[in-house]
Amino acid sequence: MELRYEFYINAAPEQVWHTIVSPEGTRSTFFGTVLHSTLEPGAAFEYVGPGADGDNTVHVYGTILEAVPGKTLSYLEHPGPSYRENHAELETRVTFTMETVGQCTKLTLVNDQWTPDHPSFANSKDHWWMMLSNIKTYTETGKTLDFGW
């Protein structure tokens, strides 16, 4: 199983990277969460924000595989403990790649290596579109989309 999305963003790869990893960028585009990590290969990461366990809910966590500013962010992730009892057994890989195309950036997201029967696949399939659309809009305009939540 693989989810793959490609977006063209009217911004430099470094600006897209900033949206994907900075506290203000992730808070605006990843449903209010902030990425906590040193972004070094092998380092732990967490997306933390408002949720079932209060303001510091761990939504997903895992291990950084690769982080090259303006080029690639790849990690293995697990759903947060408040979402699934067997969260540590459930895993998937997420890879963002950024490449310059003319005066814009092609952002490709591949979400693959799903644990068999991973219960978050359908939810991810629906929500990546929203998050990537928000990354594009926020990077280009500084504003976010209103999904009515």
In this predicted structure, what is the pLDDT of residue 84? 85
In this predicted structure, what is the pLDDT of residue 141? 97
- Where do the domains of the chain lie, and which CATH numbers do they carry? 3-141 (3.30.530.20)
In this predicted structure, what is the pLDDT of residue 31? 86
Sign of CA dihedral 55, 56, 62, 63: positive
pTM for this model (two decimals): 0.93
* End-to-end C-alpha distance for the chain, whole angstroms: 29
Cα separation, 67 vs 42, in Å, equals 10
Residues 23-56 as b/e (b if ≥16 CB within 10 A, e otherwise) read eebbebbbbbbbbebeeeeeeebbbbbebeeeee
In this predicted structure, what is the pLDDT of residue 41? 97
Instruction: Extract the tokens encoding 53.
Output: 């366990």
In this predicted structure, what is the pLDDT of residue 71? 98
SS3 37: strand
Cβ-based neighbours of 142, under 8 Å, separated by 6 or more: none
Helices (H), 71-141: 121-141
| Ranges of the chain with pLDDT below 50 | none
In this predicted structure, what is the pLDDT of residue 69? 97
Give the model confidence (pLDDT) of 80-112 as tens digits. 998 888 999 999 999 999 999 999 999 999 999
Q: Residue 78 to residues 12, 71, 85, 136: CA-CA distances in angstroms? A: 30, 23, 11, 25
